């Protein structure tokens, strides 16, 4: 693969919209020209000087569907003969089709070796002995075990990968990472045709060691991680080619659609609410499942538009009460839906609500 100093420097594949934006944001903060795409078909040759982030929306689909969507994204990658690093953005809590998506990229012909480091130390997400911890607590003892759409099955990264791929996997411990022989260890694993290497990390300095090794490897790897590792990739942003687009400032009230029921999302909303920085519109999941969606969408849109017309920021959320997360199983049973189907119903509702609001605004 050609040197990353030419063309766009990163091609990032994320499995959901939040992850795609998160990845793009990390690089936009460094003044890199970033474009987040909803569809791989939207990538054109005119984007060759950008960091491209493609959302395959594949976290909650089957492994087969996820692999197919990532394969299509790789076909878009093939449009750029001078592309730099490939980055597979994954969730730091291992939700999604990790094995299937990594294998789809490695078998595409554009990479043959993957470094997997999902740690995000800034948020307390660390990896020790190949297992994920959140603020020192095993992933399997956290709320992510009961995620409404994609509950995690193991704290072990290797175990999660093996659910969907038979490619050879190796693990590198913290001691090996920090030994001073990390580059030699990686090159040896490449020579042994190990396809996937899981690397421990508990601090930003650990992720930096991974980043510093990249230019010294015998082959350019597929990088797999969260927003943590992405900050350590040695890339050169072509800022002059985007006509100052990153300097545009947005004015006016913001509309935030918070469909996640995670504890972190609720903490963020509470932070905003306590400081009176935005008004809230609460949506009960029960109501959108049991009532006429057209009537509900119009009703909620009117509430949101009233707030925005008062020049106030507005947050629309689905989980005003912590107990709602615990009721997902009951709701699925009551309405005869799988967790994925329930999530899709909520997403569709928010999509229609947002479309109606935007049509009224502009």
Task: State residue 138's pLDDT score.
Answer: 97
Q: Domain 10-231's class?
A: alpha beta
Question: Which residues make beta-bridge pairs with 86?
Answer: 11, 222
Q: Tell me if residue 224 falls in helix, strand or coil.
A: strand
In the chain, where the domains are located: 10-231, 255-359
User: pTM for the complete prediction?
Assistant: 0.74
DSSP code of residue 219: S
Distance CA 125, CA 111 (A): 27
Both tokens of 289, joined, read 């499942």
Q: Tell me if residue 144 falls in helix, strand or coil.
A: helix
Q: Tell me if residue 38 falls in helix, strand or coil.
A: coil
Considering only CA atoms, which of 226, 221, 103, 76 is closest in space to residue 162?
A: 103
> For 133-168, how does the pLDDT look when each residue is reduced to its tens digit (9 = 90+)?
999 999 999 988 887 778 899 999 999 999 999 999
Distance CA 131, CA 173 (A): 10
Distance CA 171, CA 201 (A): 12
Considering only CA atoms, which of 246, 269, 258, 248 is closest in space to residue 318?
A: 258
Low-confidence ranges of the chain (pLDDT < 70): 1-9, 40-49, 79-83, 235-251, 291-292, 319-326, 362
Provide φ and ψ at 284, rounded to 5°. Answer: -80, 125
Both tokens of 127, joined, read 């990896």
Sheet holding 131-134, edge to edge: 125-128, 131-134, 137-138
Task: State residue 43's pLDDT score.
Answer: 63
Question: Which residues make beta-bridge pairs with 225?
Answer: 89, 117
DSSP code of residue 32: -
């Amino acid at each position: 693969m050609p040197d990353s100093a030419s063309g766009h420097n990163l091609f990032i594949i994320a499995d959901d919209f939040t992850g795609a934006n998160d990845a793009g944001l990390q690089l936009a903060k460094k003044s890199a020209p970033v474009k987040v795409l909803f569809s791989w078909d939207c990538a054109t040759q005119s984007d060759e000087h950008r960091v491209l982030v493609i959302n395959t929306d594949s976290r909650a689909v089957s492994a087969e569907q996820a692999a197919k969507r990532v394969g299509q994204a790789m076909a878009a990658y093939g449009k750029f003969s001078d592309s730099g690093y490939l980055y597979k953005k994954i969730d730091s809590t291992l939700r999604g089709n990790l094995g299937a998506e990594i294998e789809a990229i490695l078998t595409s012909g554009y990479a043959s070796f993957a470094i997997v480091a999902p740690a995000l130390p800034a948020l307390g997400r660390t990896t020790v002995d190949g297992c994920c911890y959140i603020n020192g607590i095993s992933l399997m003892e956290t709320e992510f075990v009961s995620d409404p759409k994609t509950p995690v099955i193991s704290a072990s990264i290797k175990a999660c990968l093996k659910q969907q791929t038979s490619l050879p996997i190796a693990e590198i411990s913290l001691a090996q990472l920090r030994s001073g022989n990390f580059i030699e260890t990686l090159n040896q694993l490449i020579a042994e045709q190990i396809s996937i290497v899981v690397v421990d990390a508990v601090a930003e300095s650990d992720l930096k060691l991974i980043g510093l090794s990249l230019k010294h490897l015998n082959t350019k790897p597929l990088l797999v991680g969260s927003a943590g590792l992405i900050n350590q990739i040695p890339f050169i942003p072509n800022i002059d080619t985007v006509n100052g687009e990153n300097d545009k400032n947005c004015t006016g009230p913001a509309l935030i659609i918070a469909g996640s029921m995670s504890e972190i999302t609720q903490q963020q909303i509470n932070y905003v609410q306590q400081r009176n920085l935005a008004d809230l519109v609460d949506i009960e999941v029960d109501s959108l499942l049991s009532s006429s969606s057209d009537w509900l969408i119009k009703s909620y849109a009117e509430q949101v538009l009233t707030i925005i017309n008062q020049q106030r920021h507005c947050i629309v959320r689905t989980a005003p009460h912590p107990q709602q997360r615990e009721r997902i199983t009951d709701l699925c049973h009551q309405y005869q839906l799988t967790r994925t189907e329930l999530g899709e119903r909520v997403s569709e509702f928010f999509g229609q609500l947002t479309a109606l609001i935007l049509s009224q605004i502009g």
